[in-house]
Amino acid sequence: MSTATTTPQRDAAQQEDTRHTRRFGLPVATALVMGNIIGGGIFLLPASVAPYGTISLVAFGVLTLGAIALALVFGRLAHRLPRTGGPYVYARAAFGDFAGFLAAWSYWITAWVSNAALAVAAVGYLDVLVPVHASKPAAIAAALAFQWLPALANLAGTRYVGAVQIVATVLKFVPLILVAVGGLFFFDSANLGPFHPSGGSALGAVSASAAILLFSYLGVESAAVSAGEVRDPRRNVGRATVLGTLGAAAVYLLGTLSVFGTVAHDELVTSTAPFSDATNAMFGGSWGGTVVACMAMVSILGALNGWTLLSAQAPYAAARDGLFPKVFTVKRRGVPTAGVLVTVVLASLLTVYNYTAGTKGVFEILVLVTTFTATVPYLLSTAAQIYFLLSGQSEKVSRARLARDGVLAVAAFGFSLWLVAGSGYAAVYQGVLFLFVGVLVYAWMAARKQRAAAQGVNPGAGA
Instruction: For 147-216, give the secondary structure using H, E and C.
Output: HHHHHHHHHCCHHHHHHHHHHHHHHHHHHHHHHHHHHHHHCCHHHCCCCCCCCCCHHHHHHHHHHHHHHH
What is the C-alpha separation between 442 and 448, in angstroms, rounded?
10
Q: What is the mean pLDDT of residues 47-54?
A: 82
List, in order, residues 6 or more apart from 65 with CB less than 8 Å away: 411
Res 202 pLDDT > 80? no
What is the C-alpha separation between 82 and 230, in angstroms, rounded?
9
Instruction: Express each pLDDT in 415-435 by its tens digit.
Output: 888 777 777 777 788 788 888
SS3 labels along the chain: CHHHHHHHHHHHHHHHHHHHCCCECHHHHHHHHHHHHCCCHHHCHHHHHHHHHHHHHHHHHHHHHHHHHHHHHHHHHHHHCCCCCCHHHHHHHHHCHHHHHHHHHHHHHHHHHHHHHHHHHHHHHHHHHCCHHHCHHHHHHHHHHHHHHHHHHHHCCHHHHHHHHHHHHHHHHHHHHHHHHHHHHHCCHHHCCCCCCCCCCHHHHHHHHHHHHHHHHCCCCHHHHCHHHECCHHHHHHHHHHHHHHHHHHHHHHHHHHHHHHCCHHHHHCCCCHHHHHHHHHHCCCCHHHHHHHHHHHHHHHHHHHHHHHHHHHHHHHHHCCCCCHHHHCCECCECHHHHHHHHHHHHHHHHHHHHHCCCHHHHHHHHHHHHHHHHHHHHHHHHHHHHHHHCCCCCCCHHHHHHHHHHHHHHHHHHHHHHHHCCHHHHHHHHHHHHHHHHHHHHHHHHHHHHHHCCCCCCCCC
CB 308 within 8 A of CB 78: no
Q: At 157, phi and psi to the nearest 5?
A: 130, 160
What is the C-alpha separation between 98 and 91, in angstroms, rounded?
9
Instruction: Express each pLDDT in 210-244 by its tens digit.
Output: 767 776 777 777 666 666 666 776 777 777 888 88
Given pLDDT bands bounded at 50, 70 and 90, which one contains residue 41?
A: low
% of the chain at pLDDT higher than 70: 78
DSSP-assigned beta bridge partners for residue 24: 230
At residue 364, the pLDDT reads 61
CB 240 within 8 A of CB 90: no
Q: What is the mean pLDDT of residues 443-455?
A: 81
At residue 148, the pLDDT reads 92
What is the C-alpha separation between 47 and 242, in angstroms, rounded?
27
Instruction: Express each pLDDT in 54-91 by its tens digit.
Output: 888 888 888 888 888 888 888 888 878 877 777 888 99
Is the pTM of the predicted complex or chain greater than 0.85? no
What is the C-alpha separation between 241 and 26, in angstroms, rounded?
10
What is the C-alpha separation between 81 and 77, in angstroms, rounded?
6
Mean pLDDT of the chain: 77
Res 95 pLDDT > 90? yes
At residue 3, the pLDDT reads 42
